[in-house]
């Protein structure tokens, strides 16, 4: 991402600040502010030289889309902050759960094998029907390692067990014919999440297998359950629950539920959850569309709620074929109107997009109590 020297905008909630006369100094200062604004929480340094995950590539074939892949990778690291301090630990991609070990766990359970997915029960002889009646729960296991900055040794491990909400079937019969379909894994109409319960059950086995493996470091393990969203969804899945297993321990004493969920704007689900915020965003969107009719802008949002409270707002404003002058005007307009949707404690990120390319960004940093806006190229 490159910040254009021609137009740097730093906007407070009450007034517009002119760009510095020294363009290079202004560019450097605003780049620093941009970085500090998007780093809303502690992040890990990567242990150098960086090492690739020993199961590299497997996550792409096992999980159903890049949205879920990005969410589980970033989410596991963000959740690990609470157990392995970024001040004391480097993060390193997993070095112990290789493709062979993960694939053994992903297999269906047999008497001899290590498979953790359900076996085919009461086979009908129809391969597609058998898969639909016995969906796979477990889709992937992601590992991250945490290295003590002083000792240089791995002193922590984080695992995310990825579970299917929908099972995408692709199976072949004895003649080589391929069949595809999709079924909801938990198809019971009750308040019990069978996917989460299954994840908790197999997590015990995973921990015991790790502790019994001679090559594995005997370190504390942070473990979380992640439920993938549907492959065509525009929102990622959710983290369901977490637990922490101390050094040398091979059992899970308790689980803590994780209450984090994303909502799209506009959507009936968001309206039902938080009508006040929904109406503010709707008014904000209509103001943009009314004042920039010639651009025919479209606005969409993603809001994250944690423990039932709004925690983050991300908005995309799509303005095809916008030119530089129009972009400056749109950035200024949005920045002055942003006060209508600001929350003291909630970060806001607004991206201006021209034909799938980011051309501008606006940030509200609740820590700095400032709005920052700039064109990008």
Does residue 101 sit in the same domain as residue 242? yes
In this structure, what DSSP letter does residue 240 have? E
Residue 114 and residue 105 in contact, taking contact as beta carbons nearer than 8 Å: yes
- β pairing state of 348-354 and 357-365: antiparallel
Assign 254 a pLDDT band (cuts: 50, 70, 90). Answer: very high
User: How many domains, in total, are found in the chain?
Assistant: 2
What φ, ψ does residue 89 adopt, rounded to 5°?
-130, 145
**Looking at the DSSP assignment, which residues form a beta bridge with residue 365?**
370
Does residue 239 sit in the same domain as residue 304? no
Does residue 110 sit in the same domain as residue 186? yes
What is the C-alpha to C-alpha distance for residues 79 and 72, in angstroms, rounded to an integer? 10
Does residue 217 sit in the same domain as residue 267? no
Which domain, by its residues, includes 330? 9-40+263-375
Does residue 212 sit in the same domain as residue 230? yes
Average pLDDT of span 277-286: 94
- The answer as to whether 35 is a domain residue is yes
Q: What's the confidence (pLDDT) of residue 7?
A: 38
Does residue 116 sit in the same domain as residue 35? no
The predicted-structure confidence for 200-227, as pLDDT tens digits, reads as follows: 999 999 999 999 999 999 999 999 999 9
pLDDT(304) > 60 = yes
Does residue 245 sit in the same domain as residue 363? no
Does residue 280 sit in the same domain as residue 249? no
Last residue of a domain, one of 258, 284, 307: 258
Q: Which residues contact 152 (CB under 8 A, 6 or more apart)?
A: none
**Looking at the DSSP assignment, which residues form a beta bridge with residue 90?**
147
Does residue 102 sit in the same domain as residue 188? yes
pLDDT(95) > 60 = yes
The predicted-structure confidence for 44-54, as pLDDT tens digits, reads as follows: 999 889 999 99
Q: What's the confidence (pLDDT) of residue 307?
A: 87
Q: What's the confidence (pLDDT) of residue 86?
A: 94
What is the C-alpha to C-alpha distance for residues 269 and 278, in angstroms, rounded to an integer? 10
Tokens (6 digits) for 290: 């009314």
CATH of the domain at 91: 3.10.570.10
Does residue 338 sit in the same domain as residue 361? yes
What percent of the chain has pLDDT above 90? 72
């Amino acid at each position: 991402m490159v910040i254009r020297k021609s137009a740097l905008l730093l906007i407070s909630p009450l007034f517009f600040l002119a760009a510095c006369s020294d363009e290079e100094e202004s560019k450097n200062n605003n780049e620093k502010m941009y970085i500090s604004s998007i780093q809303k929480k502690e992040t890990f340094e990567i242990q150098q030289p960086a090492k690739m995950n020993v199961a590299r590539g497997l996550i792409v074939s096992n999980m159903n889309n890049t949205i879920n892949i990005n969410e589980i990778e970033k989410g596991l690291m963000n959740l690990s902050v609470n157990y392995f301090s970024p001040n004391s630990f480097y993060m390193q991609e997993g070095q112990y759960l290789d493709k062979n070990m993960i694939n053994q766990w992903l297999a269906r359970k047999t008497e001899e094998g290590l498979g953790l997915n359900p076996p085919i029960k009461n086979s009908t002889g129809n391969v597609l029907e058998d898969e639909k009646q016995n969906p796979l729960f477990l889709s992937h296991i992601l590992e991250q390692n945490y290295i003590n900055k002083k000792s240089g040794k791995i002193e922590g491990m984080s695992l995310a067990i990825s579970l299917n909400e929908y099972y995408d079937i692709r199976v072949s019969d004895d003649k080589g014919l391929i069949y595809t379909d999709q079924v909801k894994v938990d198809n019971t109409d009750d308040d019990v999440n069978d996917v989460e319960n299954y994840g908790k059950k197999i997590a015990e086995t995973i921990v015991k297998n790790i502790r019994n493996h001679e090559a594995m470091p005997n370190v504390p393990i942070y473990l979380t359950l992640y439920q993938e969203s549907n492959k065509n969804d525009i929102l990622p899945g959710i983290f369901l629950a977490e637990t922490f297993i101390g050094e040398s321990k091979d059992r899970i004493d308790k689980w803590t539920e994780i209450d984090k969920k994303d909502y799209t704007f506009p959507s009936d689900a968001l309206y039902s959850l938080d009508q006040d915020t929904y109406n503010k965003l709707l008014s904000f969107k209509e103001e943009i569309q009314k004042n920039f009719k010639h651009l025919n802008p479209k606005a969409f949002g993603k809001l994250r709620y944690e423990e039932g409270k709004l925690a983050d707002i991300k908005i995309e404003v799509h303005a095809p074929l916008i030119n530089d002058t129009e972009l400056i005007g749109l950035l200024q307009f949005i920045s002055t109107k942003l006060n209508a949707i600001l929350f003291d404690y909630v970060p806001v990120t607004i991206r201006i997009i021209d034909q799938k390319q980011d051309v501008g960004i606006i940030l509200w940093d609740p820590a700095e109590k400032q709005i920052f806006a700039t064109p990008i190229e």
